[in-house]
Amino acid sequence: MKTKLFLLLFAMMFCALPMFAADGSASAAVNLAPLAAGLGMAIASGLCALGQGNAVKGAAEAMARNPGAAGAIRFALILGLVLIESLALYTFIIILIKS
């Protein structure tokens, strides 16, 4: 728990550093689009990875239990993976449009 809090604090400080560094005169011209793009893509692909990992886990377990149904399970797996993946791609497209 303590390590987690420390890491969180560290992350916040890390984010805050540029803020401290910027003085009043230059702050107007900061372009936040690359930062937002990177963070957005990171969040999207990280969460998609979680979802896809879950899907693959379920499919692998199901295939191990019932190898006879492997074909149908693989079909559902591929379909599910593609649909999950497209969510990250929507983020990618928004980044493309906005940056």
Partner 1 sequence: MVTHEAWLTQLFNEYLAGFGNMLLSLFHLTAENPKEPWADFVVMQIAVVAVIMLLLAVLRPSLSVRKPGTLQHLFELIHTFIAGQSDDQIGHDGKKHTTLFETLFIFLLLANLIGIIPMFVSPTQSPFVPCGCAIIAFLYYNYVGIRKQGLGHYLKHFMGPIPAMAPLMIPIEIISHIARPMSLTIRLFANMYAGEQVTLVFLSMTYLIAPAIFMGLHVFVSFLQAYIFVLLTMMYVAGAVAEEH
State the DSSP H helix or E strand holding residue 77, giving kind and residue range, or none if neither: helix 70-98
| Distances in whole angstroms, Cα of residue 27 to Cα of each of 18, 23, 31, 39 | 10, 6, 9, 20
Task: Tell the smallest beta-carbon distance from residue 92 to partner 1 (Å).
Answer: 5
Task: Tell the smallest beta-carbon distance from residue 85 to partner 1 (Å).
Answer: 8
Site string for partner 1, 67-96 (x = CB under 8 A): --------x--xx--x--xx--xx-xx--x
* CB neighbour list of residue 34: distance below 8 Å, 6 or more residues apart: 99
Indicate the residue among 54 and 86 with the shorter CB distance to partner 1.
Answer: 86
Indicate the residue among 9 and 83 with the shorter CB distance to partner 1.
Answer: 83
